[in-house]
Amino acid sequence: MKRKPSLLRPLAAAIAVALAVIGWSAPPAAAAGPNLAAGKPVTVSSTTDVYGGGNATDGNQATYWESANNAFPQWIQVDLGSAVSVNELVLKLPSTWESRTQTLTVQGGTVNPPLTTLSASATRTFAPAATITFTAATVRYIRVTVTANTGWPAGQLSEFEVYGPGSGDTQAPTAPGGLAYTEPASGQIKLTWTAATDDVGVTGYDVYANNTLRGSVAGNVLTYTDNQPGTLTVAYYVKARDAAGNQSPARTPSPAPAAAAPAPTWPPASRSPPPPTCTPTSPRTPTTTA
């Protein structure tokens, strides 16, 4: 009986026709941006019959994924193709189905594994869609894990829609260019770079020292002054960011693209101590203390 059409179906159809005639459209249930999961590849823990995972990103609410039955937990995952900022899911079931709840967790990550929890396990009502919002996170992979379903003992989704923050901006800036440095004072390194570009706008730059975020500046600032002991050798790179949280690639020093300046290191090579070596010249002799 799970796929039995609701008795309300004719009425629903009539309403849909009426709305179409007067040109009304439902307000977007999600943020202003496009559905980032549309047409994207899907992987699933299991399927039943012909109800494969690809049905969840085909844009057709009537086609659905159904997991193996009586085998919770079950999951479905979308690969967005690149890391983008997301903060909302709209999960749908066919519009003719009776309302039901599914208990589910949302996870995401820029790589997989690991995935981190974006929305903790909760019982969601599908009537026939469920909207789940969460703190914006930059992810490429996003997974829904289902542990219960009051309508049928399986995970079921007919559309898996993913949205980002209101700007709808999903394109990362270009990497900043021309990264260089000067030494304005002892123990100081002043980095400069040229502006990145973005389809909407660069709102900030993040400066990393030895692969750790060192500081951030606004999108109209193209310099950062760091203080480091002169005895340290520090490798820097800078990434650009837009308002939606999309982050550019880093300018990495090796292999340096022909047109790009290599990332500077501090102190200059002429002042760098020789690399440490650890080659004992004779067998180690244990030492003892009194």
Question: Which residues are at the interface with Ca ion (CB under 5 A)?
Answer: 55, 58, 60, 63, 158, 169, 171, 198-200, 242
**Shortest Å, Cβ 109 to Ca ion:** 21
Q: Label the pairing between strands 116-126 and 65-66.
A: unpaired
The amino acid at residue 231 is T
**Shortest Å, Cβ 160 to Ca ion:** 8
Give the C-alpha separation, 58 to 77, whole Å: 14
| Residue owning tokens 């974006």 | 118
**Shortest Å, Cβ 228 to Ca ion:** 32
**Shortest Å, Cβ 37 to Ca ion:** 11
**Shortest Å, Cβ 75 to Ca ion:** 17
**Shortest Å, Cβ 139 to Ca ion:** 16
**Shortest Å, Cβ 74 to Ca ion:** 17
Residue 195 or residue 200: which is nearer to Ca ion going by CB? 200
Residue 82 or residue 231: which is nearer to Ca ion going by CB? 82
Q: What secondary structure, in 3-state letters, does the chain show?
A: CCCCCCCCHHHHHHHHHHHHHCCCCCCCCCCCCCCCCCCCCEEECCCCCCCCHHHHHCCCCCCCEECCCCCCCEEEEEEEEEEEEEEEEEEECCCCCCCEEEEEEEEEECCCCCCEEEEEEEEEEECCEEEEEEEEEEEEEEEEEEEEECCCCCCEECEEEEECCCCCCCCCCCCCEEEEEECCCCCEEEEEEECCCCCCCEEEEEEEECCEEEEEEECCCCEEEEECCCCCCEEEEEEEEECCCCECCCCCCCCCCCCCCCCCEECCHHHCCCCCCCCCCCCCCCCCCC
